[in-house]
Structure 1
Amino acid sequence: MLVAIEGGDGAGKATAAAEVAAQLVAAGRSATVLSFPRYAETLGGHVLGEYLGGRLPHIASPRAAAVLYALDRMESAGAIANAAANHDVVVFDRYIASNMAYQAAQEDPGGSDALMRWIGRLEIDQFGLPLPDLNVYLDTPADIARGLILRKRKRSYTDDPLDAYEADDGLQRRVRERYEAMVAEGLLGHWARVPTVVDGALRPPREIAAAIVGAIDRAA
């Protein structure tokens, strides 16, 4: 089963993915995590690290950036297949929906829906990547997500506290809108919405992961 953990920056995707895998293993199922982009493993991932770290001399258009993110996953097709062959559940920390949300958020409003569908066709139909069995949207209010972004550990691809996407508050708001649209329309298949904040307080990672595991069980 392929499970994609999705959401804007600061939503806690990496923490949730690791905790979900740990809970699945504790329950007797084999599980592993694949995180995208794979900055050190693929050409696409390396170029993305240079781009997000501000070290490229060009500004990438949304479509050009989308191709780089899709390339990173296309180069990872073998790793995805191997993980799926050897585990009951493969948990993705970001997957195809992330590319759709972030690039559409940088497109003119009139073309954002068309761009999301173009990216879906690129990754699935042309690059042959498998659809996830379940997409999980970590629903995190923008103001809380911003604080969590600032608390992130140092990334391998930049020495700055925020990368190019994280530093853009407007982009983060539009990304959230794009995810909401994907969930509402059921793009890329089945979605489960998991709130990460209740009554103004962050839910513990174990509680968030337990909600995701419950969604996995219902989708299985």
Structure 2
Amino acid sequence: MSGFLLAIEGGDGAGKATAAAEVAARLNAAGRTATVLSFPRYADTLGGHMLGEYLGGRLPHAASPRAAAVLYALDRFESAAVIAEAAAQHDVVVFDRYIASNMAYQAAQAAPGDAREVMGWIARLEIEQFGLPLPDLSVYLDTPVEIARGLILRKRRRSYTDAALDTYEADVALQVRVRDNYAAMAREGLLGRWATLPTVTAGALRPPREIAAAIVALVE
């Protein structure tokens, strides 16, 4: 595995997919091969399929934070060969969500005093037990929750739900805690090197090309 692993992170509606695609396009245009891997891989893994059922509200009972974390980690574990192949064939692999996403979301659903323990447990599960590679850089797209919610409602139809908001997206308080968790992870350097990019300036969304250019500059 030799490619640079770039994880683009952030809450729902932060523009991760758009940024990942734009970053890869810019890198490829500049002569550096890049590809995007988006997690969860709903149609490609057992873990991804089960997550689609869970987020679409089709499971008969709720999942505990650790149980949900296992599904997200399983999705990546089943994708380990895909990650390794992408890294072997490209200069940069851009992740639209990676390990930090699991940590931020599941810790946000844990009891307040257990959040940090859950984060550590997930990191050990994915890195030590499942052997997934650490990212070389994680970029946190920091987006105010109220703005992100409006962007979610403009998303195209997803493969796993017909609803405008999935289980996580519909919970505003959860999204606030997720944002706090991401900020803490970036501040403390959990999982390695981080950079934080605000996606809103002076009350307006920054253009995707501007965000992508900033991310490419960090990679280079």
Q: Secondary structure at the match of 2:76?
A: helix
Paired position in structure 2 for 1:9: 12
Write out per-residue CA displacement over residues 44-89 of structure 1, whole angstroms, 9 at most, x where no aligned residue.
0000000000111010000000000000000000000000000000
Aligned equivalents of 2:146 and 2:63: distance in 1?
27
Shift in Å at residue 34 of structure 1?
Answer: 0.1
What is the distance in 1 between the residues matched to 2:164 and 2:80?
A: 31
Question: Matched residues, percent identical?
Answer: 78
1:80 has 2:87 as partner: no
Aligned length: 217
SS at match of 1:28: coil
- For 1:12-33, what per-residue CA distance to the aligned partner results, in whole angstroms no more than 9, with x for missing partners? 0000000000000011100000
Could you tell me which residue of structure 1 aligns to residue 212 of structure 2?
209
Counterpart in the other structure of 1:92: 95
**TM-score when scaled to structure 2?**
0.98
Give the root-mean-square deviation of aligned CA atoms.
0.5
Equivalent residue for 1:141, pick from 141, 144, 148 = 144
Q: CA deviation at 1:146?
A: 1.1
Aligned match for 2:107, one of 101, 104, 110: 104
- The residue number in structure 2 matching 1:171 is 174
- Aligned counterpart, 1:19: 22
Deviation by residue 1:88-130 (Cα, 9 ceiling, x = unmatched):
0000000000000000000011000010010000000000000
Q: Unaligned regions of 5+ residues in structure 2, if any?
A: none
1:3 aligned counterpart, secondary structure: strand
Output the CA distance in 2 between the equivalents of 1:37 and 1:142.
21
Tell me the residue number matched to 1:37: 40
Cα distance, 1:143 vs structure 2: 1.4
- CA distance in 2 between partners of 1:201 and 1:59 (Å): 37
1:7 CA displacement: 0.2
**Residue identity in the other structure for 2:171:** D
The unaligned stretches of length 5 or more in structure 1 are none
Per the TM alignment, residue 195 of structure 1 is displaced from its structure 2 partner at its CA by: 1.1
| Paired position in structure 1 for 2:155 | 152
Which residue in the other structure is 1:182 paired with?
185
Q: CA deviation at 1:147?
A: 0.8
Amino acid at match of 2:218: A
SS in 1 for 2:197: strand
Q: What TM-score does the superposition give when structure 1 sets the normalisation length? A: 0.98
Name the counterpart of 2:128. Answer: 125
Residues in 2 aligned to 1:167 and 1:151: alpha-carbon distance in whole angstroms = 14
Q: After the TM superposition, list the runs of 4 or more consecutive aligned residues in structure 1 that deviate by more than 4 angstroms.
A: none
What is the CA distance between 1:169 and its match in structure 2?
0.3
Q: Which residue of 1 aligns with 2:51?
A: 48
